[in-house]
């Protein structure tokens, strides 16, 4: 049977660490806990499950801490878990089956990662495959019967194991600091980090967070050679910041330019919110409806339930505005209310796409 080392990095996880370890500890052959500076009872709780507890000075670099934890592993495979993850009984049985039947050529096993909506700041799907189990020592293999070459791409197996991600709260503030520090240190963000930062900032960032992050996206807008994908994301961030801070000129400048050159659900959603705040119900309804019919690039909800609810609220607002006129058209007012109800019904039935469904993000 395959042997597995559990490698975790933790800090101040006293209220959730036992929940995580109770769900996976007996599936592991070795448990390695790397603490990055806990001031609570995290290490005492970890000691109930293992004596392999190591201290690591936090450097605001998750990759460095992960690499250190992996360096302590001695089993065939390494399972990487966070303290806010849980395996339920059904998926524990799947894990046992996987462990017993693991083929030696498999180098990475992906598992489905499921995060409740209220804690979802970067995923735009209900579930997402993530690499969770890694072969500790990789052996290079020659492939192809002629013009032979070394296989560099790992053998990946997509399992049906589902991991429930149950964080105590959003990690956005911590994440934003790391993104900004990385940009200031290296002068740039990789394509992956830029996209992740834009998603998390758009979905969960406050006005203050947007303000502190503007230099990163401002550089993109001033770069004539910036990739289209970065420009799209930068326009979304700038438009959101300008609207939320009441800068009408800047909002019009960025949102309208983006609507022409880089149309996406987020931009139309921002336009809908702008006109809704101005009590311009007809314009608001128009832009929310447009948002619901075009792909999103950062927040799938802006092209889904959020846009549909926005259209419904705008039509209800218009119905109330019309009703205030003593000579209003009752039939028209009633049709607006009915249309609003249809949008609400669509919003309630809308579901975030899954990993196996087509989506744009």
20-55 per-position pLDDT tens digit: 999 999 999 999 999 999 999 999 999 999 999 999
CA distance 86 to 22: 9
Q: Give the pLDDT confidence score for residue 358 in this predicted structure.
A: 44
Q: Domains along the chain?
A: 4-165 (3.90.550.10), 172-349 (1.25.40.10)
126-145 residue pLDDT tens: 678 899 999 999 877 766 76
Specify the DSSP class assigned to residue 217: H
Q: Give 174's pLDDT tier (boundaries 50, 70, 90).
A: confident
At residue 26, φ and ψ (nearest 5 deg) are: -75, -10
Read off the pLDDT of residues 208-225 as tens digits, 9 standing for 90 and up: 999 999 999 999 999 989
Exposed e or buried b for every residue in 33-46, given b needs 16+ CB within 10 A?
Answer: bbbbebeeebbebb
39 DSSP 8-state letter = -
Whole-model pTM over 0.85 = no
CA angle 252, 257, 258 (to 5 degrees): 105
At residue 244, the pLDDT reads 96
Residue predicted with more confidence, 139 or 201: 201
Q: Is 359 a residue whose pLDDT tops 50?
A: no
Of 100-114, 160-174, 265-279, 304-318, which gets the smallest average pLDDT?
A: 160-174
* Percentage of the chain modeled with pLDDT above 70: 91
- Yes or no: say if 27 and 55 are a contact pair by the CB < 8 Å rule: no
Q: Which of 62, 169, 82, 87 is nearest to 120 (CA)?
A: 169
């Amino acid at each position: 049977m395959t042997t597995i080392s559990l490698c975790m990095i933790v800090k101040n996880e006293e209220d959730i660490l036992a929940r995580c370890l109770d769900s996976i500890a007996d599936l592991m052959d070795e448990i390695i806990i790397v603490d990055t500076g806990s001031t609570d009872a995290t290490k005492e709780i970890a000691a109930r499950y293992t004596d392999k507890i190591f201290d690591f000075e936090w450097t605001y670099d998750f990759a460095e801490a992960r690499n250190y934890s992996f360096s302590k592993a001695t089993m065939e495979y390494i399972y990487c878990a966070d303290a806010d993850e849980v395996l339920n009984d059904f998926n524990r049985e799947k894990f046992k089956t996987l462990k017993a039947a693991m083929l030696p050529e498999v180098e990475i096993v992906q598992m489905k990662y499921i995060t409740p909506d209220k804690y979802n700041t970067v995923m735009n799907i209900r579930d997402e495959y993530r690499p969770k189990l890694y072969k500790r020592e990789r052996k290079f293999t020659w492939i192809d019967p002629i013009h032979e070459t070394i296989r560099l791409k790992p053998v990946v197996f997509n399992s049906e194991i589902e991991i429930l991600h149950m964080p105590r709260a959003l990690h956005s503030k911590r994440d934003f600091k790391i993104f900004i520090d990385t940009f200031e240190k290296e002068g740039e963000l990789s394509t992956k980090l830029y996209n992740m930062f834009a998603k998390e900032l758009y979905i969960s960032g406050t006005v203050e967070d947007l303000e502190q992050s503007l230099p990163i996206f401002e550089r993109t807008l001033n770069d004539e050679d910036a990739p289209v994908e970065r420009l799209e994301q930068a326009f979304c961030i700038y438009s959101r910041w300008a609207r939320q801070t009441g800068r009408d000129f800047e909002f019009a400048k960025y949102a309208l330019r983006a609507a022409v050159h880089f149309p996406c659900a987020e931009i139309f959603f921002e336009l809908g919110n702008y006109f809704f705040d101005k009590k311009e119900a007809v314009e608001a309804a128009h832009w929310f409806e447009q948002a619901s019919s075009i792909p999103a690039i950062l927040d799938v909800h802006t092209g889904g339930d959020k846009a549909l609810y926005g259209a419904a609220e705008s039509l209800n607002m218009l119905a109330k505005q019309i009703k205030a006129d003593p000579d209003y058209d009752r039939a028209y007012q009633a049709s607006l209310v009915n249309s609003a109800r249809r949008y609400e019904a669509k919003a309630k039935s809308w579901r975030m796409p899954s990993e196996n469904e087509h989506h744009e993000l």
